[in-house]
């Protein structure tokens, strides 16, 4: 099987807050909006981020939230590598202006020369915004390291 991913779907407790944050606040164009159910954003060639109403998400998985069927995954962050240190601060500021919460201001990381910070969207999805001079993203989206 080829290592390939086309959809990254997150259960979202407040779909309207997610729409206001990503679309209205950050200006991300929506690829598709199914009101009350799911919204999609094209985040890379061939890759969509889906924000799925949490109740509908559980229904889709035939899961009963009341019966202890909580999230199967924890400890997840989404990350964005930016071209320079100033862009880390600028991106975190944009997240906050759009309604997000800064969890960790931009600062030196513990390893690899990374300069980064963390923010959460209104539903608690954690984003790491980082500049790592040893990571490079090619025009085709592939990532390579020094």
Asked whether residue 88 carries a pLDDT value surpassing 80, the answer given is yes
Confidence of residue 64 (pLDDT cuts 50, 70, 90): low
Longest dimension (CA), the chain: 48
- Are 100 and 138 contacting, i.e. CB atoms less than 8 angstroms apart? no
Are 2 and 58 part of one and the same domain? yes
Does 132 fall in a domain?
yes
Cα–Cα distance measured from residue 54 to residue 16, given in angstroms and rounded to the nearest whole number: 12
pLDDT per position as a tens digit, 129-138 = 999 998 888 8
- So what's the pLDDT on residue 66? 55
Write down the pLDDT at residue 50.
Answer: 94
* pLDDT at site 74: 61
Contact 43, 6 (CB under 8 A): no
Per-residue model confidence (pLDDT) at position 36: 93
Write down the H helix ranges in the chain.
15-19, 54-60, 85-97
**Please, what is the average pLDDT of the chain?**
88
Query: What pLDDT sits at residue 63?
Result: 65
Looking at 24, 39, 63, the residue that finishes a domain is 63
Clarify whether residues 35 and 88 are in a common domain: no
127-to-17, 37, 65, 70, 96 alpha-carbon distances in Å: 16, 23, 25, 21, 12
User: 34 and 2 in one domain?
Assistant: yes
pTM: 0.81
Is residue 68 pLDDT above 60, yes or no? Answer: no
- Domain harbouring 97, CATH code: 3.10.180.10
- Is 18 within 8 Å of 12 (Cβ atoms)? yes
Same domain, 80 and 59: no
Which domain does 88 fall in, by range? 76-146
Q: What is the mean pLDDT of residues 43-53?
A: 91
Q: Please tell me the predicted confidence (pLDDT) of residue 65.
A: 52
Task: Single out the residue in 14, 41, 63 at which a domain terminates.
Answer: 63
């Amino acid at each position: 099987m080829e290592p390939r991913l086309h959809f990254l779907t997150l259960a979202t407790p407040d779909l309207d807050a997610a729409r206001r944050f990503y679309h209205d606040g950050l200006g991300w164009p929506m690829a598709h909006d199914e009101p009350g159910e799911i919204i999609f954003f094209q985040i890379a060639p061939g890759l969509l981020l889906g924000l799925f109403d949490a109740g509908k998400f559980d229904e889709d998985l035939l899961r009963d939230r009341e019966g202890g069927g909580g999230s199967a995954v924890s400890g997840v962050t989404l990350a964005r590598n930016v071209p320079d240190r100033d862009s880390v601060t600028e991106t975190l500021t944009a997240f906050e202006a759009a309604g997000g919460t800064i969890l960790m201001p931009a600062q030196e990381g513990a390893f690899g020369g990374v300069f980064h910070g963390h923010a959460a969207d209104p539903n608690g999805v954690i984003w790491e915004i980082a500049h790592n001079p040893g990571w490079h993203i090619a025009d085709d989206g592939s990532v390579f390291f020094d």
